[in-house]
Amino acid sequence: MHLSNPTPFPANRPRRLRRDAFTRNLVRETLLTPHDFIYPVFVHEGSSLRVPVPSMPGVERLSLDLLLPVAEECVRLGIPYLALFPSIEAEKKTPDGREALNPEGLIPRVVRALKKEFPDLGVMTDVALDPYTSHGQDGVLDDTGYILNDETVEILVGQALTHAQAGVDMVAPSDMMDGRIGAVRDALEAHGHIHTRIMAYSAKYASAFYGPFRDAVGSSANLGRSNKDVYQMDPANTDEALREVALDLAEGADMVMVKPGMPYLDVLRRVKDEFKVPTFAYQVSGEYAMLKAAAQNGWLDHDKVMMEALLAFKRAGADGILTYFAIEAARMLKK
């Protein structure tokens, strides 16, 4: 039987395979498990300090001591990776984001603590300057406000090395500067960090869905009315995404990512079909916030839409998903 000439009704009744749960389970094409999740978390300085992110219900910025129990639950649930995002004090932010290079800065200290307490939990760090710059952009600016590429890459390389020296398992450059994957890979190799993985934010779009995340890391106010259109991708383009992925793989990326997630499932599918490499989707803060808000208003069934959305990423070709729903979804899957 070919799809263009299927066996006709009544010899073929597709509903036979939907009649009962045990048959639906038997023929299910896509499987979602806790091993598919990377859990993004926001960390800040202090002790016994949790600060809710108003635009992301259920998400908090945590001090390290409060993050450790979260990491422990991830291990128990089978979530393989945490992704760390910093929220640093305003006085540490500078035009060039140099705090990102501090080996005793927030993220390196958190990495060391997590790897000491939970050596079997993967730790991934964001390589980007926007949490560290006083202007909220992901790089160094020239006199006109344009983001300088090569000067920014030099700092990103130092940031990646700082994280690798702290013991991180995977660095994830999210800045969209040209050539940064190759520069980071060369530096890691030169310094003996041959096992440090790189997940490239290869197809990161200039999206309006990032607003709550920028609130969480404290870059929203600094960014103001500016945008990131000169380095993040045009939402209208998909061929360009394939070129970006190809470049990052050629430069040494181990995994690639499409970001945002749900509005870009077509891009995700094209990337997976074209390259057949480990491919990830980021269900970004705006996607999470929309589902949470609709559920809180009683417009959607929270658990059902959460699981349906996550399944959609796997069905579209994602090998894994960065999602703020990771713990909630993993709990459900463990039941």
Q: Which amino acid is at 117?
A: E
What gap in Å lies between CA 2 and CA 14, rounded to an integer? Answer: 15
Q: Which of 92, 93, 204, 272 is catalytic?
A: 204
CB 43 within 8 A of CB 63: yes
Look up 228 and say whether it is catalytic. Answer: no
DSSP 191-213: TT-TT-EEEEEEEEB--GGGHHH
- How many other CB atoms are found less than 10 A from the CB of residue 46? 14
Find out whether 124 and 38 touch, Cβ atoms under 8 Å: yes
Q: Are 199 and 254 in contact (CB under 8 A)?
A: yes
Quote the CA–CA distance of 201 and 175 in Å, as a whole number: 8
Exposed, middle or buried: residue 26 (CB in 10 Å: 0-12, 13-18, 19+)?
exposed
> Has 259 been annotated as catalytic?
yes
List 92, 93, 228, 259, catalytic entry: 259
Question: Are 245 and 275 a contacting pair, CB within 8 Å?
Answer: yes
Q: Which residues are catalytic?
A: 204, 259
